Structure 1
Amino acid sequence: MDTGTIFLYLGCGLLPLAVVAYFLATKKTFSTRFEGEKFQSTPGSYGWFAVICTLSPALLASVLAAVLQLTGMAEVPGTALVATVMILAACGLYLGLMAVKPSLRARAKVEDVVVKLLFAASLVSILTTIGIVLSVVFEAMRFFQIVSLWDFITGTNWSPDGVSAGDHGVEGMFGSIPLFAGTFMITGIAMLVAIPIGLFAAICTAEYASPAFRKVAKPALEILAGIPTVVYGFFAAITVSPLVVEAADYFGLQADYTNALAPGLVMGVMIIPFVSSLSDDVITSVPNSLREGSLAMGAYQSETIKTVVLPAALPGIISAFLLAVSRAVGETMIVVMAAGLRANLTWNPLEGMTTVTVRIVDALTGDQAFDSPETLAAYGLGLVLLVVTLVLNVISLVVIRRFRQQYE
């Protein structure tokens, strides 16, 4: 019995039992047997209590079987699993109906289960983050047993092509500075485009625009966030990059068709909706009493925005900028299509460069063995990028706490 069939049987069996449990428990609260007695909870609470009693043992058995199967500790036959789960669900249904009495505080028990489920849901993101960090750290440790960490973070040459597992003398071939230089270069160009345009657009829609214009302009601006990145990549490679080459030639400069300026500009356009939408929401949430007080003191609207509204919204605006930076650092497709794969350490944005995420994808999708230094280098890059992102987050939190003000 395959996995799909097992899920089909479980779904077709458990859902009807849960529905039956709900209606039988609800009906029991209206039974003449308890006529004149006052129930502690509503009929619906008793119904959900019976549903929980029916599904809990069945779901726990299913999870246990899945864990045993995934870890290889035991092979659970599909037929036996379905039969066991259905028997447990039937027993849970019987016990749940037997427990339905006026003295049962069903609402408290149901809410307790809901709270525990919400707590478990809140742990998902934490456990996922821990799992990601541990998986990257363990694989990165294998890489740093081959390549010195100091050489990796200070080296200026990235040429891992052709290095295989067991090779020696790989020092100087895995210098990550060109990759991070390209990442920061392209991200910086994108931020120079996205931050001023996005912030000015947010100020316009939040403070100056009429409701009719805002109703049209904000959704139109947010459409940019829904365009696939591969489309932006085509636009950067086919349209923007040749324009950059022609403009550079007009000024007597030489530019490569795979330059860093084109993906940076296009990436900045892609990120404008993130900055604009979040900044607009933050600026709009500033209390009107602050604006009215400033205007009552004789300040112009522009002075009110500069000295009152923007300082009040600064923590949220910084958060929007940080989200934009994270989005730019993680972008891959635009850089691949417009800037290429060459790890080039230069200050000239008219030359081709690449980023950390592009090299990570290239290392993990090549034909190299999984334990080769070139493949393991992806985890080393991921770990360093994780640390860099963490440092940026800490800096932003310090800035936010320093400038945060409480407004009544």
Structure 2
Amino acid sequence: MSVGIIILVVAVLTALGYFLGRRHALSLSAQSGRKLHSLPGYYGQTVALFTSIPAFLLLILWLFVQPIVVDSRIDGMIPDSVIPEGGARSLVISDVRRIAGGLDAVLSHGELSESALTDGSIDFSTIRTKLGEVGVALAGDVPTEVFEAAKVYRDSIKTGATAMAILVIALAFGFGIWAYRRIRPDMRARNVSEGFVKSLLIASSTVAILTTAGIVGSLVFETINFFKMYPASEFFFSTVWNPQFRGGSELGILPLLWGTLYVSVVALIVAVPVGLMIAIYLAEYAGKTLRSFAKPAIEILAGIPTIVYGLFALVTVGPFLRDYFAQPFGLGNSSSSVLTAGLVMGIMIIPFVSSLSDDIINAVPQALRDGSYGLGATQSETIRQVILPAALPGIVGAILLAASRAIGETMIVVLGAGAAAKLNLNPFEAMTTVTVKIVSQLTGDTEFASPETLVAFALGLTLFVITLGLNVLALYIVRKYREQYE
């Protein structure tokens, strides 16, 4: 039974529990002549909660633990002798999963019977042929141990899925009956229902904390593994980025940091002044009709996919800058450049600056404007000397959001700035960023335990620390210049 069917069955039992619980509470109240402590719906909600919550918790726990248990069992079945020289055990286990999936496909097509697979009456060459017919191509000789592990893996997954379905549905049914039998007229069903809602709110509020802890933990552990293989001093201070998956790699982060900061600064130079001027005009000068049209039109820029911006940079902006600026002045011959990616990225993040700054400027109390006008200040003087200083903390937050968006962008850089990791001041030269190299190091059929792959986690952790530093700086600025109003 698939997970979707299990969820559907539990959902049906939950709905049934709600209606039966509500009806049972009304029936008991009518028979005893006693008034219910809570509204009838709360009694139904109590039965529904006890029916669904334990069952879904068991389902989630089972889906998390079962792969770990099965992989551990399969790992013990694979001897070191079947692992290719220079290969990784994880790749062999991946082959086991692939073969197991192919066996399911062969059985579902009727090409092979379950009994023939179980009793070993069919030879491996025949099974190999049938796996190829369903799209599972096996390169080279597959050891018998790997094939046997695939059969065990398939049987374990199948048995686990059956046990999971039985236990989850039984738990839902059992707790539902137990909650149904607990219903009494004086039962405080509302407290049970509201207590669940409170617990749900508390759990939701911890999602961000747990997510951050998980991200940092995954980055830190893999980064530690990387620095066990590659010197940290060369990573942080080397000016050469030259990964070679066969050894002799030079993995210096400085060219990547330079490209990231260079592209981001160009993008902010474009986005911040334009976005801020748009916000000031919409908030202080534009009429309601123009504002109602202009603001949604500008915010549409934020909804355009980044791949579209990348194609725009590749096809239009890059060739334009190359033909009319770079080549005539002898600054370069490539359409991929820092300036190309920076300009297009700046256009992309304009709505982040303009929309947020507009909302922040509108939040400044009207009394400040009236007081400035009463003292004889003009509108422009009021904007410069009163409104912008009052809205500065919020504007800094908007700029920070735009900077974070620029630092984390990948597609525009890939198509607009290229993939060359180098230190150069020429904005018409092709460069790359940290995010692009994270993707490239984790893409392809590479060994995960190699330093050339693990370096992606070190790059990610470095980028995380830089972003955290920007947040701390912005928080300092906000606290220093914060204005409080009554």
- 1:222 aligned residue: 299
- 1:191 aligned residue: 268
- 1:68 aligned residue: 65
Alignment map for 1:68-217 (pairs within 5 Å)? 68-72=65-69, 77-160=160-243, 162-164=244-246, 167=247, 170=249, 173-217=250-294
- Residues 6 and 157 of structure 1: CA distance in aligned 2, closer, same or farther (over 3 Å): closer
Residue type of the partner of 2:38?
S
C-alpha distance in 1 between matches for 2:366 and 2:193 = 43
Alpha-carbon deviations, 1:4-29, whole Å to 9, x = none?
x2431x23322222222212222233
TM-score normalised per structure 2: 0.78
- 1:391 aligned residue: 469
Q: Secondary structure at the match of 1:29?
A: helix
Preserved contact between residue 258 and residue 338 of structure 1 (Cα < 8 Å): yes
Preserved contact between residue 25 and residue 47 of structure 1 (Cα < 8 Å): yes
Alpha-carbon deviations, 1:357-377, whole Å to 9, x = none?
111111111444222222222
Alignment map for 1:355-366 (pairs within 5 Å)? 355-366=433-444
Alpha-carbon deviations, 1:55-81, whole Å to 9, x = none?
233223323322331321695533333
Alignment map for 1:221-300 (pairs within 5 Å)? 221-249=298-326, 252-255=329-332, 256-300=334-378
Residue type of the partner of 1:81?
M
Residue type of the partner of 1:51?
A
C-alpha distance in 2 between matches for 1:68 and 1:140 = 25
Preserved contact between residue 341 and residue 353 of structure 1 (Cα < 8 Å): yes
C-alpha distance in 1 between matches for 2:310 and 2:240 = 27
- Residues 35 and 297 of structure 1: CA distance in aligned 2, closer, same or farther (over 3 Å): farther
Percent of aligned pairs with the same amino acid: 47
- 1:57 aligned residue: 54
**1:325 deviation in Å?**
0.5
Residue type of the partner of 2:225?
R
**1:85 deviation in Å?**
2.4
Residue type of the partner of 1:86?
I
**1:180 deviation in Å?**
0.7
Number of residue pairs aligned between Structure 1 and Structure 2: 398
Cα-Cα RMSD: 2.0
C-alpha distance in 2 between matches for 1:145 and 1:79 = 43
Deviates more, 1:360-369 or 1:262-271: 360-369
**1:125 deviation in Å?**
2.1
Preserved contact between residue 21 and residue 43 of structure 2 (Cα < 8 Å): yes
- Residues 159 and 39 of structure 1: CA distance in aligned 2, closer, same or farther (over 3 Å): same
TM-score normalised per structure 1: 0.92
- 1:406 aligned residue: 484
- Residues 250 and 349 of structure 1: CA distance in aligned 2, closer, same or farther (over 3 Å): closer
Preserved contact between residue 34 and residue 102 of structure 1 (Cα < 8 Å): no
- 2:20 aligned residue: 24
- 1:48 aligned residue: 45
Preserved contact between residue 343 and residue 353 of structure 1 (Cα < 8 Å): yes
Q: Secondary structure at the match of 1:14?
A: helix
C-alpha distance in 2 between matches for 1:337 and 1:330 = 15
**1:252 deviation in Å?**
2.6
Residue type of the partner of 2:41?
G
Structure (1 or 2) with the larger CA radius of gyration: 2
- Residues 86 and 371 of structure 1: CA distance in aligned 2, closer, same or farther (over 3 Å): closer
Deviates more, 1:306-315 or 1:191-200: 306-315
**1:152 deviation in Å?**
1.4
**1:302 deviation in Å?**
1.6
Q: Secondary structure at the match of 2:251?
A: coil
Residue type of the partner of 2:390?
A
Alpha-carbon deviations, 1:195-240, whole Å to 9, x = none?
0101111111111111111110011001111111111111112111
Residue type of the partner of 1:43?
P
Preserved contact between residue 331 and residue 426 of structure 2 (Cα < 8 Å): no
- Residues 12 and 158 of structure 1: CA distance in aligned 2, closer, same or farther (over 3 Å): closer
- Residues 329 and 382 of structure 1: CA distance in aligned 2, closer, same or farther (over 3 Å): same
Q: Secondary structure at the match of 1:20?
A: helix
Preserved contact between residue 322 and residue 393 of structure 1 (Cα < 8 Å): yes
Residue type of the partner of 2:263?
I
**1:188 deviation in Å?**
0.3
Residue 339 of structure 1 pairs with residue 417 of structure 2 = yes
Q: Secondary structure at the match of 2:229?
A: coil
